[in-house]
Amino acid sequence: MKKLCISAVFIFTTLCAKAQQTVDAEELISSDKSQQCLAFLQHTEKKLHASETINLCTLTAGKPVLIVNTASHCGFTPQFTALETIHKKYKDQGLVVIGFPSDDFFQEEDDEKDTADICFVNYGVTFTMIAPVHVWGNDVHPIFKHLADKATAPKWNFYKYLVSADGKNVRHFNSRVTPDSAVFVDAINDII
C-alpha cells in the first residue's frame, strides 16, 4: 500500500510538472505574437520555375503581407513594375510581397519558365513569386479561399490583398487600383 501511495505521488508530481511546462510553453508562444504565423499562411509552396520551396509561415511571421494574383499577358501586367517598387520601398519596414501567378482568367503562360522570364527578366521582380495556382473555382488555393471569405475572390488578374501582421485587417483592391496610387500607398502605410 505504501509503494502504491509513493507511486501515485510520483505520477501526480510528474504530471503537474509536465502540465506546468506545457503552460509555460503556451505562454511563451502567445507572449510573442509579433512572430506568430497567420493560420491561412501555414503552407510550403514551390517557388516560380524553381525546384526550391518556401515556407510562407516563416517568410511572413509577424509581418504585414501583400498578396497579388498575377498573369503574364494581361493589360495589368505592367503593375509588376509598381509592385517591385513597393517591395523595395517597404521590405525593410516588414512588408512581404507575394505574387501568385494564375491562368484562371486565361492570360498566363502555359510554360512556367515563360512566366518566370516575364516576371524576373522583363519586369525585374525580386519579391517572392509562387508557382501557378488557382485563385477561384473548385480548385481554389486555400490562401485565396481565405481571402475570398475575408474580403472577396479575385474577379480578374492583379487583385491585391493587404493583410495586417495580426491578420485582423484584410483589405482588397481590384485590378484598376495601381500599386503606386495614393489610396493603395495610404493603405500600406496604415498597416506598417
Tens of pLDDT, residues 95-151: 999 999 999 999 999 999 999 999 999 999 999 999 999 999 999 999 999 999 999
Q: Give pLDDT, residue 119.
A: 98
Q: What is the pLDDT of residues 4-56, one digit of tens each?
A: 444 444 444 444 444 444 333 333 333 355 568 999 999 999 999 999 999 99
Catalytic site residue from 5, 16, 57, 74:
74
Buried-state track 170-181, b at ≥16 Cβ within 10 A, e below 16: bbbbebebbbee
- Phi first, then psi: what are they for 27, rounded to 5°? -65, -40
Stretch 85-93: mean pLDDT, rounded?
A: 98
Decide if 45 contacts 56 (C-beta within 8 A): yes
161: three-class secondary structure by DSSP = strand
**CB burial string 99-130: b at 16+ within 10 A, e below:** bbbbbbbebbbeebeebbebbeeebebebbbb
Q: Is the pLDDT of residue 70 over 50?
A: yes
pLDDT given for residue 3 in this prediction: 52
- Give the per-residue pLDDT at 23: 35
Could you tell me whether strands 160-163 and 128-129 are parallel, antiparallel, or unpaired per DSSP bridges? unpaired
pTM for this prediction: 0.82
Look up the CATH number of domain 39-191.
3.40.30.10
Query: For this structure, is 74 an active site residue?
Result: yes
Q: What is the pLDDT of residue 36?
A: 87
On the CB side of 85, how many CA atoms lie within 13 Å of its CA?
11
Q: Of 22-31, 157-166, 169-178, which gets the smallest average pLDDT?
A: 22-31
Give the model's pLDDT for residue 35.
Answer: 67
